[in-house]
Amino acid sequence: MKTFVTGATGFVGSALVRKLIGRGDDVVALVRRETDPANLTGLKVHVAYGDLRDMDSLRRAMSGCGQVYHAAADYTLWTKDPDALYAANVGGTKNVLEAARDAGVGRVVYTSTVGALGNPGDGTAGTEVTPVKLGDMVGHYKRSKFKAEELAMRFASEGLPVVIVNPSTPVGPRDIKPTPTGKMILDFLNGKMVAYLDSGLNLVDVDDVAEGHILAMEKGIPGEKYILGNRDMTLKEIFEDLSRLTGIPAPRVRLPYAFVYPIALISTAVSDHITGRPPLAPIEAVRMARKFMFFDPAKAVRELGLPQSPVEGALERAVKWFRDNGYVTRGK
């Protein structure tokens, strides 16, 4: 039986592909022709060129596959073209689910995000059932993922066996773009992180997230959500751990939200209307940081057997990968 994976060249997707190949799965990876394939180098995988927005390419690539992992997403906290982001994250998800339904696949795992879940924001951990609505979503990325998750739930209610996983904040190697969290780590390594906000994240090893996808395929209940997370940490704690790993001093200045917010507004406005390049401080990222992004993975641990590998090891592997692959310029 063949296994179909979208987002296979990305951070989470490539970790998933490695796990699947290690199990002996016959993996078909949907890849856009313009995408950097470096994360698939040396892997025994069938590359199917196509696009989430192209139904014909999805149908061809998915032919004969019994399982589908939809891990692809446009993950950015600033975009000069919101329509393209919605086309990929919402329209693309609809296309994948329709193609999977029409192909009669046995099961689908859809990769959502904790950003689409309810979040108390005060340090209390959110769960899969914390109340939430579209109006709670900050920015286009979260709104697009919320809408895509609604689609997955609708398809599940109509009989397609879709299981939803909500990764928290994965860290580890092969964060090739990098993700916003990877960029935070990279900025620290390059000496650009001189201050921090009083906020927090739930960190998890990207390999545990990949394993969680497979466990969701095997044990998850269609229509249910599972948080793939591990340890709640403040930004101060994250930087202190990175400091212990690298010897680079952790930032000591904690900036008040009221100071950072107007700077982010100006930075984002300059990007929107002048440069067209990503802002140094995206307003969506700053607005998100106002809440502690803490989440409880107990359901996935209990029902799926989600591993809880130490996040220090994941941070260490992320640091090594960034250094080994030329992302760190400090000291050169």
What pTM does this model have? 0.94
**Using an 8 Å Cβ cutoff, are 33 and 224 in contact?**
no
CA distance 194 to 196: 7
The amino acid present at 258, given as its one-letter code, is A
pLDDT of residue 70: 98
**Residue-range domain boundaries for the chain:** 2-177+204-231+294-312
CA distance 247 to 244: 6
Which architecture characterizes domain 2-177+204-231+294-312 according to CATH? 3-Layer(aba) Sandwich (3.40)
SS (H, E, C) 87-152: HHHHHHHHHHHHHHHHHCCCEEEEECCHHHCCCCCCCCCECCCCCCCHHHCCHHHHHHHHHHHHHH
pLDDT of residue 286: 80
Between helix 311-324 and helix 235-246 the angle, nearest 10°, is 60
Q: What φ, ψ does residue 64 adopt, rounded to 5°?
A: 85, 0
Angle at 58 between CA 172 and CA 53, to 5 degrees: 80
Per residue in 158-195, pLDDT (tens digit) is 999 999 999 999 999 999 999 999 999 999 999 999 88
**Using an 8 Å Cβ cutoff, are 235 and 200 in contact?**
yes
Q: What tens-digit pLDDT sequence spans the chain (332 residues)?
A: 799 999 999 999 999 999 999 999 999 999 999 999 999 999 999 999 999 999 999 999 999 999 999 999 998 878 888 999 999 999 999 999 999 999 999 999 999 999 999 999 888 999 999 999 999 999 999 999 999 999 999 999 999 999 999 999 999 999 999 999 999 999 999 999 988 888 999 999 999 999 999 999 999 999 999 999 999 999 999 999 999 999 999 999 888 878 787 877 788 888 888 888 887 778 888 877 778 999 999 999 999 999 999 999 999 999 999 999 999 997 65
Closest CA to 229 of 167, 302, 291: 167
Per residue in 237-284, pLDDT (tens digit) is 999 999 999 999 999 988 887 878 787 778 888 888 888 888 777 888
Between helix 55-62 and helix 92-103 the angle, nearest 10°, is 40
Counting other chains too, the contacts that 61-65 makes at CB distance below 8 Å and 24 or more residues apart are: 61/4, 61/28, 61/30, 62/4, 62/28, 62/99, 62/100, 62/103, 62/105, 63/103, 64/2, 65/1, 65/2, 65/3, 65/4, 65/28, 65/103, 65/105
